[in-house]
Amino acid sequence: MFEWIFSTEAWLALATLTALEIVLGIDNIIFISILVGRLPDQQRNFARTIGLLLAMASRLVLLFSIVWVVSLQDPWFSVLAIAISGKDLILIGGGLFLLAKATHEIHASLEGAEETTISQATMNLGAVLFQITVLDIVFSLDSVITAVGLAQHISIMAIAIIVSVMIMLFAAKSISLFVDDHPTIKMLALSFLIMVGFTLIAEGFDVHVPKGYIYFSMLFSVSVEMLNLRMRKKEMAKVVLHKKM
């Protein structure tokens, strides 16, 4: 099972796959960060950790059920001459769920729902974990199928998944706090989720959207927003200095 440890190509595949798993997990971290922000402060770290562990468990379960995952790619029925498989149905359902959730969060933010009573502003821990689990399964499909295409050994795929989730666990809290502290970043993250939702639906209808375009647009938008945040910070510093004078 571990005979690959003496192969340079296998180690290269492990490094590449781990990096890809982290990239593919960005959507997951954003979604978890936004959902966790609806919980009371004392539950957020727990929910964040459990959410990422659920993501790891989902990927490992799908990985070790790879025969079933591959069978999901077989057509089940057709709609307007487009073959729809089990995988397509999961992607379409996940995309619709993501669109609904992101739209609801944007509406709540714009309408000031977060300033209402605690019972309205927070969510039940169980409800948050359930929503995280649903999206974990959807996001895991792409992750596992990518892993199968890049590596020959299941042990390599499993190690890549575990290492990537451990790295995400280390970074998730910082990302969540940053998103919570900057409303414009949160709105940008919600916009990303809407884009990902549309992408999942498109792929469910056999319209391939290169992931590179999605992640480049995310990186570009975040880079611009970071410049805006830095500029606003300098302006605030000038105002404070002017008041002191």
pLDDT at residue 119, as a whole number: 41
Residue 28: what residue type?
Answer: N
Q: pTM higher than 0.85, yes or no?
A: no
Minimal CA–CA distance to 228: which of 187, 168, 171, 199?
Answer: 187
Tell me the H-state helices in 111-153: 118-121, 125-150
3-state secondary structure of 77: strand
pLDDT at residue 2, as a whole number: 59
**Sign of the C-alpha dihedral computed for residues 221, 227, 231 and 237 taken in this order:** positive
Q: Where are the domains of the chain?
A: 3-209, 210-245
CA 204, CA 196: separation in Å to the nearest integer? 12
> Phi, psi at residue 5, to the nearest 5°?
-65, -15
Question: Using 50, 70 and 90 to split pLDDT, how confident is the model at 116?
Answer: very low
CA 65, CA 82: separation in Å to the nearest integer? 26
Looking at the DSSP bridge assignments, the partners of residue 82 are: 79
Mean pLDDT over each residue of the chain, to the nearest integer = 76
Are the C-beta atoms of residues 162 and 84 closer than 8 Å to each other?
no
User: Which residues does 2 contact at the CB level (< 8 Å), separation at least 6?
Assistant: 155
pLDDT at residue 6, as a whole number: 62
Question: Using 50, 70 and 90 to split pLDDT, how confident is the model at 12?
Answer: confident
Is pLDDT of 147 > 70?
no
Residues 57-83: tens digit of each pLDDT: 887 887 777 667 666 777 778 877 778
**Sign of the C-alpha dihedral computed for residues 38, 44, 46 and 48 taken in this order:** positive
Minimal CA–CA distance to 198: which of 131, 99, 80?
Answer: 99
CA 6, CA 218: separation in Å to the nearest integer? 38
CA 225 to chain centre: 19
Are the C-beta atoms of residues 193 and 98 closer than 8 Å to each other?
yes
Are the C-beta atoms of residues 78 and 169 closer than 8 Å to each other?
no
Is pLDDT of 50 > 80?
yes
